A and B are shown apart, each in its own frame.
Chain A
Amino acid sequence: MKYRYQEEMSPPPPQRVTDVAITRFEHVFEVEPGLMTDHVTQQTFPNWDTLRLVRSRADHLAWMHRHFADKVISGEELLHDLDE
């Protein structure tokens, strides 16, 4: 509901998941920051941006499912259509 610099720029403390991944928000995983220092450095992300990407991805996938995955067609059916 509001933007405050200190809140947005203070991410929750990381918890290690594997050697190469950490987590800061529930169900949101990030690459271990130490692995992104040589070729591509990580950007400064406010918290809202991380969460926006996660939510937008979920929305996008739900949208794709609504539009494209309402029916499953087997390979057999496709071949049958071609034969006709």
Chain B
Amino acid sequence: MPDPEKRFAEEWRNAAYNCFSSGHKFCREVCPVMQVTRNESWSPTAFHANVVAMEKGELEVADVAADYVNCTGCGACELRCPNSLFTGDFYRFRTRTVDLVKAVRGLAVSQGVHQPGWQRWNLLTDERRHEPVLNGTPVDQARVRDWADGLDLPIGGETILFVDCEAAFYRTSVPRSVARILNLAGYKFGLMNEQWCCGGPAAEMGYEEQARRFAQHNLDDWRAAGVRRVLVLDPHDYITFTEDYPKYFGDAYDIEIVLVVELLAELIREGRLTPHVPVERTVTYHDPCRLNKRKGVWREPREILRAIPGLTFHDVDRVTQWSYCSGGGGGLPVEKPELTAKISEHRVEKAAELGVDTLVSACPWSERPLSEAGRARSIDVVDLHELLAESLGVAP
């Protein structure tokens, strides 16, 4: 066994045995990939069992690397794992399947085992400093602030707004809505000087060196511009800035990260924002995995929805939503768009059962797959920030 694989197996063996011996497999039933494929090789349990086999020399990472594509990084399996949910806090040792998947993907890349879609995606991201979210149309630094045209926003300052690649180039009305809302509330913020991709997707796909390089660039740029606080509208960025960056920089990570959804809920609570334009829609809310499951953020989006007049809000149990996912995370749509589409169809089907005309999300990355699935059922997929902007009379 090559040395890197040996070191990897040593690092993850205890977690793997811990999972393998539980045998409950609750994780399997909430895994969005398992729900639509029933492929046992793609279950969280299998992801751990492979490590046991790797430690025993029964397989190498090249044998199983392709299996590890089948994870959206939603974190449902971790929350339903009895080891995490019921004893994780007591032992300070929880099942970290999402991290394991990232680690195996990283090990594969370091061994020269690539998935073709991910390799191309990260190559283009490295060249352009942004993810190739517009397919053939190049995206680059020269266009990264185009979304803010006409908004007269300063560059730099103590507080800045970080806009993810999808929202900066494809879902531009989302950051425009956020900017208009913050302006309305009198909340001061600027734009980034240079805004590279956060590096999170590269880390998720196993391209760790690239992820760290991008992270270092962003942190250096923030410091050079005197930034103390970064506002984040994308749940994926929020995960990257609060989980990956602390891992990379440790004590030197001196930036405050604020999630825009939480900030907006607070501004409404304080009376600095009062939604008043009725929005006549019947909606339900899609909890983005990286907010609800991975960060425990679910109250604030609902506070915002309940503050919007005219809305008929059919909420579902948010714990049930631990098993919902759009399929848009973890690089899955890059490598397996057909699987993402199936997961989205499954999610929209759940919304359709509630008789709603609109599915509200708070994650730019979920909207493409959910919108496509929604069209087949005549369900609009709209962004929470945009909905709030409409009710505040500042739609972009």
Interface residues of A (CB under 8 A from B): 1-6, 8-9, 28-31, 33, 36, 39-43, 45-46, 48-57, 59-60, 62-63, 66
Contact = CB atoms under 8 A, between A and B. Distances in A.
Interface stretch (B88-96, B203-211, B342-350): B88-96
B89 A28 contact: yes
A45 B319 contact: no
Nearest to A45: B92
Contact of A42 (B18, B84, B93): B93
B93 A50 contact: no
A63 B317 contact: yes
Nearest to A46: B246
A60 B91 contact: no
Contacts of B251: 5-6
A70 B86 CA distance: 22
Contacts of A40: 14, 18, 91, 93
Contacts, number: 86
26 contacts: A2-B256, A3-B242, A4-B256, A28-B89, A30-B89, A30-B92, A31-B90, A31-B91, A31-B92, A33-B92, A40-B14, A43-B92, A45-B92, A46-B246, A48-B295, A50-B92, A51-B296, A53-B84, A53-B85, A53-B89, A56-B79, A57-B89, A60-B79, A60-B319, A63-B317, A66-B317
B319 A43 contact: no
B253 interface: yes
Contacts of B91: 30-31, 36, 40, 42
Nearest to B249: A5
Point out which of B241, B257, B318, B319 has the most chain A C-beta atoms below 10 A from its C-beta: B319
Nearest to A28: B89
Size bin of chain B's contact surface: 35 or more
Interface in B250-294: 250-251, 253-254, 256-259, 262-263, 266
Interface string B83-126: 01110111111101000000000000000000000000000000
A62 B320 CA distance: 12
Contact of B296 (A1, A4, A52): A52
B93 A43 contact: yes
Given A3-B242, A5-B246, A54 B89 contact: yes
